[in-house]
Amino acid sequence: MMSQTMPQTVTRLTLGRSVFSVNAYLITTDLGFVLVDTGTRGQRSKLAESLRTQGCGPGSLKLVLITHGDFDHIGSAAHLRSEFRAPIAMHEGDAQMATNGDMFSGRRRPNRLVRAVLSLVSRLPEADRFEPDVLLDEGSDLAEYGLAGARVLLLGGHSAGSIALLLADGSLLCGDVLENRKAPKLGSIMDDVGTAEAGVRRLKTMDVGMVYPGHGKPFEFADLLVPDLTVSTAP
Ligand SMILES: [Zn+2]
């Protein structure tokens, strides 16, 4: 019998509580693990404990993939890189958020209220800022990290560099472009709603199954609530 490659399985690591709750996801591959997002700096010990429980440590963690540059997703990326010696991958569009610690850099239309409130608490301390090792873009090949058959999709919308990872089995890790805090829907904080909606229309043309959002529970893509979106017909 031909040897089969191991399926890539996704484990949700829930960090923080209530409104501060954020997900990181650990993908098991035949080469080891890929971590998608890292929570906030304050959720670091919980993340470390979750990784230990899953048997993920230095050597077996092949990549830290960041869906977007917000502080609640990149808080432990630099720490993991130094502890686990794993490279950090993200899209160039959000790289400035990681290098200067300001989640509003690169955003087109920051909401003033959100900005006023979050600027006080969300600035990434210098020790946690980083330059990504790998710049991802639409179509980047991640086979060398164990993600054969996976696709990187540049969705934007939530931020200029918001990406999603579509695994070969249809699992979609989408960061904050989609969420499921109370219901599966478009993310509630959007920099560019039109771009986000275009991203969802594009996803509808693909074989997306389970969606693993940055916030809230995983859900079936078919259950996504997007009442105003119509799929554009091809010319
Ligand atoms: Zn978030």
Cα(231)–Cα(215) distance, rounded to whole angstroms? Answer: 26
Residue of 97 and 234 predicted with greater confidence: 97
Could you tell me the distance, in angstroms and rounded to a whole number, from the CA of residue 81 to the centre of ligand 1? 20
Cα(229)–Cα(130) distance, rounded to whole angstroms? Answer: 37
Could you tell me the distance, in angstroms and rounded to a whole number, from the CA of residue 235 to the centre of ligand 1? 36
Please state, in angstroms and as integers, the Cα–Cα distance from residue 148 to each residue in 7, 32, 153, 196, following that order: 10, 13, 15, 26
Over residues 200-210, the mean pLDDT reads: 96
Over residues 1-14, the mean pLDDT reads: 78
Could you tell me the distance, in angstroms and rounded to a whole number, from the CA of residue 158 to the centre of ligand 1? 9
Strand order across the 219-220 sheet: 151-154, 163-166, 172-175, 210-213, 219-220
Residue 177 near residue 157, CB atoms below 8 Å: yes
Could you tell me the distance, in angstroms and rounded to a whole number, from the CA of residue 222 to the centre of ligand 1? 22
pTM for the model: 0.91
- Report the 10 Å Cβ neighbour count for 34: 27
Could you tell me the distance, in angstroms and rounded to a whole number, from the CA of residue 140 to the centre of ligand 1? 23
Q: How confident is the model at residue 101 (pLDDT cuts 50, 70, 90)?
A: confident
SS3 11: strand
Task: Output the pLDDT for position 209.
Answer: 98
Report the candidate in 50, 20, 53, 19 with the shortest Cα–Cα distance to residue 36.
50
Could you tell me the distance, in angstroms and rounded to a whole number, from the CA of residue 161 to the centre of ligand 1? 13
How is 101-159 classified by DSSP, letter by letter?
--TTTT-SS--HHHHHHHHHH-PPPGGG----SEEE-TT---GGGT-TT-EEEE--SSS
Task: Output the pLDDT for position 97.
Answer: 93
Residue 185 has pLDDT above 60, yes or no: yes
The pLDDT mean for the chain works out to 91
pLDDT digits (tens, 9 = 90+) for 126-143: 999 999 999 999 999 999
pLDDT digits (tens, 9 = 90+) for 23-78: 999 999 999 999 999 999 999 999 999 999 999 999 999 999 999 999 999 999 99
Could you tell me the distance, in angstroms and rounded to a whole number, from the CA of residue 188 to the centre of ligand 1? 10
Task: Output the pLDDT for position 1.
Answer: 45
Could you tell me the distance, in angstroms and rounded to a whole number, from the CA of residue 214 to the centre of ligand 1? 6
**Tokens read off for 214:** 């940055």
Could you tell me the distance, in angstroms and rounded to a whole number, from the CA of residue 68 to the centre of ligand 1? 8
% of the chain residues with pLDDT over 90? 78
Could you tell me the distance, in angstroms and rounded to a whole number, from the CA of residue 48 to the centre of ligand 1? 19
